[in-house]
Amino acid sequence: MLAGNVLAAFCGLALVGSGAVKILGVRKAVDGLEAMGFAGRVRMIGIGETVSALLFVFPQTRPIGLLLVSAHMGGAIATHMQHRLSYAAPAALLGLVWAAAWLSHPAPFTL
């Protein structure tokens, strides 16, 4: 349980940091997303990422956070694939998010 909460905090920190960069309009992040077709939507993507991450960090809201983070990261993976970029980083982070969920509460994952 403790390992899951620590891993969830680590993943949440990474996602909140990524979301904050988008919300604050850091030029490198904005330029990259605009080049992928997200012009005018970068701040909203950052808000969604941050809210999803915060919901995932807290054990009481982790299930809905897991669902929202999974959807967000699935979109990131699909976008990377569409633009022939490596999707290893978003896929690895998504794997860590699911590992954190399993470590913090394994019951839903057992058959």
**Residue 57 dihedral angles phi and psi, to the nearest 5°:** -65, -40
Instruction: Tell me the per-residue pLDDT of 55-93, one tens digit each, with 9 for 90 and over.
Output: 999 999 999 999 999 999 999 999 999 999 999 999 999
Q: 3-state DSSP call for residue 106?
A: coil
0.85 surpassed by pTM: yes
Supply the DSSP string of 33-96, one letter for each residue: HHHTT-TT-HHHHHHHHHHHHHHHHSGGGHHHHHHHHHHHHHHHHHHHHHTT---HHHHHHHHH
Mean pLDDT of 28-45: 96
Percent above pLDDT 90 for the chain = 93
Average pLDDT over all residues of the chain? 96
pLDDT at residue number 1: 85
d(CA 56, CA 10): 11
CB 15 within 8 A of CB 48: no
